[in-house]
Amino acid sequence: MMTFKPRTLAFAGSLCLTLAACGGGTSSNNSNSDSTSSSVVTSSQSSTSSASSASSKSRIHVNQVGFALGGKKVAVIPQSEATHFSVINAATNIEAASGEIDAYQQWSYAAEAVGQADFSQLTVPGEYFVRVDGLNDSDVFVIADDPYSELNKAVIKAYYYNRASTALEAQYAGVWARESGHPDTQVLIHPSAASAERPAESVISSPKGWYDAGDYGKYIVNSGISTYTLLAALEHYPELYAERELNIPESGDSVPDLLDEVRWNLDWMLSMQDPADGGVYHKLTTKNFVGVVMPSDTAEPRYVVQKATAATLNFSAVMAAASRVVKPYDTALASQMLTAAKRAWQWAEQNPNVAYVQPGDVNTGAYGDSNFADEFVWAAAELYISSGEDSYYQAINAGSAGNAVPSWSQSLGLAWMSLAAHADDLTAVANKALINQRVTELADAIMATGEQSAYGVSMASSDFVWGSNGVAMNRAMMLVQAYRVSADSQYMDGAQALLDYVLGRNPTEYSFVTGFGARPPMDIHHRPSAADDVDAPVPGFLAGGPHSGQQDGCNYPSSLAAESYLDDWCSYSTNEITINWNAPLVYVSGALETYYLNLSK
């Protein structure tokens, strides 16, 4: 319900790209600035927008980065007497659009009732904010033809910043340059992982890989979903990533930078397979979490711990998928990966029920999962796609395999996503109608939740868990799959709403990606960010997000699921960052970027 203001629209050109440049106030430092250092908001820069500033007034919730010209654009307005909203051009202070606020409704996970303000019809590039009488103006955001490219680059570059076993040079890492740590060339076999060939305390080499999160561990299960998701981004959007330069040491070689980055972790994963039998170690960590130190300041012994079924199947699935993606660049590596994947599969068939059991002397992340049915489905699907061997398709048991939003312990969604993406290349045994049905039935359930939400955002109570922002992005990734099989744009609108959610259309004050939006997290639970002497955290990381678990006992502002978030080192349950939460944000931001660029062609 929006009225158009053609007179002001005509004026709202691209003359003034920032508020500061136009003398209109403080720039919100949005994502259209250059990557890494220049896109980072420091505390002093992170003032909010525009005209009114009384902090006691409620805040309008809006994606703080912005929108594509042809994208759905919704702000969420806290309940007041107001029925009307305006969108103001931040450069000129002139109203560009206005409309009626939808009926105010309660969202179960937050205190205040809200109404949606839809200004999708505003399609003129510029910087804007939303104004409602009696409320603070919203943060400033852009409307642009390509608003997510800097975001996409930064959330990929975050993996580079989390590389183990290497120094980060200033030419790539800017102020976040750091010395090398964790060479991992002398890793001990933990007694739980001992074998005839590799007895307890013997030494193996297992370098490279990404740190899992704010800790310095490397965990196969979580690396699996993260690495796969980045590989899927590459497979599904090859044109986008062929050109995407990340300024990493490998930039300029003949391989897409995203694949170079993923190779850093694939090389490590390959070293986690026991060459004697094909089984895969669950993780590589110290016995206890180390303190708040830089990588170069720790030398505690690191161990590989227990071979287990979930890790071995995760490895199998990822190596099978990777063999497809690296093949055009390196056929020898591709065949090595497919062989490694098949050997892992065989180990899992012979050891179908080996749960990871955290040894008594090991206290780092457990990533324990005792249900392997979904990992079997996923590994079988990837092996089938990459090898073309029908026996792997039979092993999927497609008729009885359901679908679910992916997480580190749930891989069904990854299997269907891969099968759908390769539907045209599958052998005759594959039931293509079933594959499409699985993808769309999950997406329709996700959409239904969004339609009932006062925020217009598909999050249900079971989604507010440790890493809820990762859940949001995985839900969005499942919606993108439905768009890919149906070409129905409503699914991309649903994915956009979830991206809006993590970038500011939520009940907290935050855009949850470091360095992006007017008020990003500053004190993430990330050891390098906390231990270095740079004020701003490493950019491009998605904070875990709100949920009411409060396992760390920190002092939260609210116990409501969508408000229970704290931007503090203390809050490892809501403010850590991980490779598995960033990965679907990479996928979704790249998918939306591609979608909007195609719309405008």
Query: Which residues are marked as active site?
Result: 215, 525, 567, 576
In the region spanning residues 189 to 218, those forming contacts with ligand 9MR, defined by CB under 6 A, are 212-215, 217
Q: Cβ closer to ligand 9MR: 289 or 329?
A: 289
Structure tokens at 127: 């910087």
Can residue 565 be called a binding residue for ligand 9MR (CB under 6 A)? no
Can residue 181 be called a binding residue for ligand 9MR (CB under 6 A)? no
Structure tokens at 60: 């309008």
Q: What is the DSSP letter of 37?
A: G
Q: Cβ closer to ligand 9MR: 2 or 366?
A: 366
- What's the rounded Cα separation, in Å, for the pair 423 and 420? 5
- What's the rounded Cα separation, in Å, for the pair 380 and 390? 10
Q: Cβ closer to ligand 9MR: 217 or 494?
A: 217
CB of 578 to ligand 9MR, least distance (A): 5
What is the b/e burial string over 264-277, where b = at least 16 CB atoms within 10 angstroms of the residue's CB? bbbebbbbbbbeeb
- What's the rounded Cα separation, in Å, for the pair 342 and 497? 39
Can residue 225 be called a binding residue for ligand 9MR (CB under 6 A)? no
In the region spanning residues 330 to 369, those forming contacts with ligand 9MR, defined by CB under 6 A, are 365-367
Give the helix/strand (H/E) hosting 75.
Answer: strand 74-78
Q: Which of 311, 315, 302 is nearest to 362 (CA)?
A: 302
CB of 343 to ligand 9MR, least distance (A): 27
Can residue 520 be called a binding residue for ligand 9MR (CB under 6 A)? no
Structure tokens at 434: 């079933």
Q: Cβ closer to ligand 9MR: 217 or 450?
A: 217
Can residue 289 be called a binding residue for ligand 9MR (CB under 6 A)? yes
Please identify which residue in 264, 541, 572, 596 interacts with ligand 9MR, judged by CB under 6 A. 572
Can residue 467 be called a binding residue for ligand 9MR (CB under 6 A)? yes
CB of 217 to ligand 9MR, least distance (A): 6
In angstroms, the Cα distances linking 592 to 120, 156, 190, 381, 491 are 16, 15, 44, 26, 11
Q: Which of 210, 211, 261, 212 is nearest to 234 (CA)?
A: 261
Q: Cβ closer to ligand 9MR: 372 or 491?
A: 372
- What's the rounded Cα separation, in Å, for the pair 470 and 472? 5
Question: In the beta sheet, which residues pair with residue 87?
Answer: 97, 130
Question: Are 483 and 580 spatial neighbours (Cβ–Cβ below 8 Å)?
Answer: no
For residue 586, give the amino acid letter.
Answer: V
Can residue 578 be called a binding residue for ligand 9MR (CB under 6 A)? yes
In the region spanning residues 427 to 466, those forming contacts with ligand 9MR, defined by CB under 6 A, are 466
Q: Cβ closer to ligand 9MR: 212 or 463?
A: 212
CB of 143 to ligand 9MR, least distance (A): 35
CB of 300 to ligand 9MR, least distance (A): 14
Give the helix/strand (H/E) hosting 187.
Answer: strand 187-189
- The residue ranges that bind ligand 9MR (CB under 6 A) are 212-215, 217, 289, 365-367, 466-467, 572, 576, 578
